[in-house]
Amino acid sequence: MSIPQLKLRQQQILNHGWFFKERQIKLSLEADFATPEGWYSCRVPSSTYQNLLEQQLIPDPYYDQNEHLVQWVGERDWLYRLEFNANQNYTYSELCFDGLDTFASVYLNGQLILENQNMFLGQRIPVQLQAKNTLEIHFKSAWFEGLKRMEANGGAKPLWNGDASRVHVRKAQYHYSWDWGPKLLDSGIWQEIRLEQFNTRIADLTLQTNLEPNFEISSLDILLQLNGQFETAEVVLTLCDPNGITLEKTRLPATTALKHQFMVLQPKLWYPHTLGSQPLYCLKVVLLQDGVIVDQSEQSFGIRQVRVVQEPIANQSGSSFYFEINGIAMFTSGANWIPDDLMLARVTPERYRARIEAAKNANMTMLRIWGGGIYEDKIFYQLCDQMGILVWQDFMFGCAIYPSYPAFLENVKQEASYQIKRLRNHPSIVIWTGNNEDYPLAFGQGLYDASVAPDATATFGARVIYEQVLPNCMQEFAPDAYYQAGSPFFGAFPDDQTIGDRHTWDVWGSAAVPYREYQHLGGRFVSEFGMCAAPRLETLREVIPANQWSPSSPSFEHHMKADQGMMRLHKYAADIAKNLETLEDFVFATQIVQSEALNAAYRIWRRAWGRPHHRACGGALVWQLNDCWQVSSWAIIDSSHRYKPAYYTVKRALQAITINLWTDGAIWASNHHLETWQCDLEIYIFDLQGQVIHFETRAVNLAANASTELGTMPQGQAIYAVRLLQNNQVIARDSIFPEPYVQFELPKANIQVEQIGKHQLKISTDKPVKAVWLETNEISDNMLDLMPNDPQILELASIPEQLELRFLGGQKVFNLQAQLVIGDD
């Protein structure tokens, strides 16, 4: 064999030139691939639904009830085909498949090279190439493959959402439909395919930081693995600080597994955005052979210490559950994240950025990647690293009794190893959990017994996955990361409020109790809670035909998937107003409920974030931030990136400093700053005609990083409002109107909207008014309770000519263009 030339590893991304078609079962597979008929060009990465839609071969699955018309797509097999040229001057060629969805047989020049069975597992296949090559992929229907596996492995087991066969398929579980999503059993090349060619390459890079308890020094342990012919090679390792300046550089002889340690003195620590900045270090690796670069790689990382603090709480049972970053305890507020589309390749980096920025702007510090979706795209984690958003990462199991036969466990082990290695260097990821709600499901079915050791042959055999397979993989590939078997993971029973994290679904779900009950339904960390509301009207217009524009139309009801969803929506909306006959009125009533519910939950649970050793609630994550199609759901941002009113309410409830009221007259403030704050508190009480009947003001001290009780108000049927001021500037507000709203008539208010600058509006009122909603998207605040003599200034991206206002009990349209002050800035 001739000595290979020294060459840089080459990557050819195989994204262009693909064709796809429906498999014709009357033909042999070979003949079907060979037939010139029926092929359509397609993009890659993509999916079959997306490709069919782009070729106008199916109607939009999200429009009206088209979901029913496109189910056949998931019941067929699909063929994909590419011809590509390749260089043959390398010793090694590998085809890298970052993600195939799901059962895919891959042929290179007619030879089977891969039988893929897992959408979440990247594959790297050594291949022999010709100058001209054909890559053919046969995607089998996940629907039928799943049914076959279910039949062969003991039949249907209990689950919530989707079809019982889904648990046998390592594919995004929400594709089988969920209580917020349609069923679209998609398939295809959802991630990149690359040809990599090399004589020698960097095969794996493991980084581990170890920050000393005094935060003054951190080690960086590097393990580098090489592939190919590297006998005469050398490796150059360069450590760069967050500004890209070289801190240290070293040159070492290459070995199969090379270890090295750097020390970082006075490291710049990575923090969530509310506590500090997000410095990212970088390790660069260059592989040289006889002085020529043959491969290179770089990996960014952050240096931080994370603790999940579970310790006794003064005067309370159980233990705390909160995150401490670099020694700073934090109340963690945020949201659950679901995949942003059914057709996953449509989720662009811009979409990810918009959503994550929106979460950050709403003062959120954590997103939980929920176990019924996907391990997210790398851009998601990069953005969280850069923006200082913590990530709670589930493994992809949700709401079911999963199987535990050997082939399944092996598949899961490969997936977990691959994903942990892919994600472990992101400083944003602070917790990993084995599944979503599988323990409560098993518990509810009488299948879970904590006193029995996990056993793959038991009724809840999947405990072996969550208590052995996954923690073993974590131990091997990310030994310092915090892992917990599931979410929720609890003490004696799933709804335990004293230990672990809790999913609070007593409001909206189960008995659908009123949202004020959140007061008694918190937990040490509420990792899920939520309230459904319709999306914004413009978003509904995208999918509801004009002749179905009513709250009881089949089309509107089709865009609600939750169990008894319409009934529950109506039940809660009935507390807001009577005669909700138009879609506009009904939609707004559901949005008021959501806004009020989330406001109550966040404020009352933050109240339980006391001083050290009194941290009875360590955080709350709203279910859910985003949506995957136009649907009435718990999301606070709809699928067209329009904010529901609750988005703004949550944003205010999560401000660093809040002032809060409860229906029992309690007043308290929450302060996330690490210093004590001094403010002035103002209390107003209005009678139901809107006249002030009580006013008081006093100076208050707000304890650092804790909530502070500030007494109670006299009680009665009245409207209560509080403000916190600093240097005469209002920094926080809250108010309470008599509930349920439907039973009280509010005073007729004269609301005024005035343009006071190119991008500024002033809004004011002469009587208290509840839930004032300005029908626009890019605005600094919205969904306001307005009080007399307390005008609010709002910043808008642009001032519309006409502005529609809705509020509890009415609506109004302002013609703003007429008011424009010429020459004003």
Question: What residues are labeled active site?
Answer: 437
Instruction: Name which of 161 and 658 has its Cβ closer to ligand BMA.
Output: 161
Query: Residues 101-133, buried b or exposed e (16+ Cβ, 10 A)?
Result: bbbbbbbbeeeebbebbbbbbbbeeebebeeeb
Using CB under 6 A as the binding rule, the residues of this chain from 391 to 410 that contact ligand BMA are 398-399
Residue owning tokens 């500024």:
760
Is 315 buried (19+), middle (13-18) or exposed (0-12) by CB count in 10 A?
exposed
| Range in contact with ligand BMA (rule: CB under 6 A) among 176-184, 198-206, 271-279, 800-808 | 176-184
Under DSSP, is residue 500 helix (H, G, I), strand (E, B) or coil? strand
DSSP code for 312: B
Phi and psi at 760, nearest 5°, equal -125, 135
The tokens for 261 are 């340690």
Looking at 461-617, which runs of residues are DSSP E strands? 483-484, 502-504, 526-529
**Of residues 719, 721, 718, 701, the one with CA closest to residue 710:** 701
Strands 78-85 and 92-97, sheet pairing: unpaired
Nearest-angstrom CA–CA distance, 681 and 658: 11
Residue 503 within binding range of ligand BMA, rule CB under 6 A: yes
Phi and psi at 251, nearest 5°, equal -120, 125
> 160, 149 in Cβ contact below 8 A?
no
Nearest-angstrom CA–CA distance, 788 and 472: 61
> 467, 484 in Cβ contact below 8 A?
no
| Range in contact with ligand BMA (rule: CB under 6 A) among 48-56, 177-185, 309-317, 669-677 | 177-185
> 120, 169 in Cβ contact below 8 A?
no
| Range in contact with ligand BMA (rule: CB under 6 A) among 134-142, 178-186, 296-304, 379-387 | 178-186
Under DSSP, is residue 533 helix (H, G, I), strand (E, B) or coil? strand
Instruction: Name which of 398 and 522 has its Cβ closer to ligand BMA.
Output: 398
DSSP code for 182: E
Pick from 32, 528, 682, 785 the residue near ligand BMA by CB under 6 A. 528
The tokens for 61 are 């699955």
Residue 439 CB, nearest approach to ligand BMA (Å):
12
Long-range contacts: 154-160, Cβ < 8 Å, 24+?
A: 154/403, 157/400, 157/401, 157/403, 158/400, 158/401, 158/441, 158/445, 158/447, 159/399, 159/400, 159/401, 159/441, 160/399, 160/400, 160/437, 160/441
Using CB under 6 A as the binding rule, the residues of this chain from 360 to 379 that contact ligand BMA are 370, 372
Runs of H (alpha helix) within 332-437: 349-361, 378-387, 406-423
Instruction: Name which of 532 and 604 has its Cβ closer to ligand BMA.
Output: 532
Write the single-letter amino acid at 107: Y
- The upper half-sphere exposure of residue 279, i.e. CA atoms within 13 Å in the direction of its Cβ, equals 15
Pick from 385, 437, 682, 734 the residue near ligand BMA by CB under 6 A. 437
> 613, 522 in Cβ contact below 8 A?
no
Instruction: Name which of 337 and 609 has its Cβ closer to ligand BMA.
Output: 337
Pick from 141, 165, 414, 436 the residue near ligand BMA by CB under 6 A. 436
Instruction: Name which of 168 and 561 has its Cβ closer to ligand BMA.
Output: 561
DSSP code for 481: S
Residue 532 CB, nearest approach to ligand BMA (Å):
9
Residue 337 within binding range of ligand BMA, rule CB under 6 A: no
The tokens for 251 are 């040159």
Residue 370 CB, nearest approach to ligand BMA (Å):
6
Residue 250 CB, nearest approach to ligand BMA (Å):
47
Using CB under 6 A as the binding rule, the residues of this chain from 735 to 774 that contact ligand BMA are none
Q: Per-residue DSSP letters for 395-419?
A: -S-BSB-----HHHHHHHHHHHHHH
The tokens for 33 are 């691939």
Using CB under 6 A as the binding rule, the residues of this chain from 190 to 209 that contact ligand BMA are none
Instruction: Name which of 530 and 618 has its Cβ closer to ligand BMA.
Output: 530
**Of residues 799, 770, 794, the one with CA closest to residue 782:** 794
Looking at 168-216, which runs of residues are DSSP E strands? 176-178, 181-183, 188-189, 193-198, 200-211
Residue 210 CB, nearest approach to ligand BMA (Å):
34
The count of chain residues that interact with ligand BMA, using the rule CB under 6 A, is 12
Residue 529 within binding range of ligand BMA, rule CB under 6 A: no
Residue 111 CB, nearest approach to ligand BMA (Å):
42
Residue 795 CB, nearest approach to ligand BMA (Å):
34
Instruction: Name which of 597 and 702 has its Cβ closer to ligand BMA.
Output: 597
Instruction: Name which of 561 and 770 has its Cβ closer to ligand BMA.
Output: 561
**Of residues 652, 662, 657, 629, the one with CA closest to residue 558:** 629
Instruction: Name which of 295 and 528 has its Cβ closer to ligand BMA.
Output: 528
Residue 178 within binding range of ligand BMA, rule CB under 6 A: yes
Residue 180 within binding range of ligand BMA, rule CB under 6 A: yes
Residue 638 within binding range of ligand BMA, rule CB under 6 A: no
Instruction: Name which of 524 and 568 has its Cβ closer to ligand BMA.
Output: 568
Residue 179 within binding range of ligand BMA, rule CB under 6 A: yes
Under DSSP, is residue 71 helix (H, G, I), strand (E, B) or coil? helix
Nearest-angstrom CA–CA distance, 650 and 333: 10
CA distances from 431 to 173, 302, 322, 323, 670 (A): 21, 15, 11, 9, 25
The tokens for 210 are 């170890």
Instruction: Name which of 370 and 741 has its Cβ closer to ligand BMA.
Output: 370
Question: What count of other Cβ atoms lies within 10 Å of the Cβ of residue 699?
Answer: 8
Under DSSP, is residue 606 helix (H, G, I), strand (E, B) or coil? helix
| Range in contact with ligand BMA (rule: CB under 6 A) among 174-182, 461-469, 689-697, 810-818 | 174-182
Instruction: Name which of 197 and 633 has its Cβ closer to ligand BMA.
Output: 633
Residue 437 CB, nearest approach to ligand BMA (Å):
5
Instruction: Name which of 230 and 397 has its Cβ closer to ligand BMA.
Output: 397
Using CB under 6 A as the binding rule, the residues of this chain from 714 to 733 that contact ligand BMA are none
Residue 185 CB, nearest approach to ligand BMA (Å):
18
Residue 164 CB, nearest approach to ligand BMA (Å):
15
For residue 206, is the peptide bond before it cis, meaning its omega torsion is within 30 degrees of 0?
Answer: no
Sites of contact with ligand BMA (CB under 6 A): 178-180, 370, 372, 398-399, 436-437, 503, 528, 623
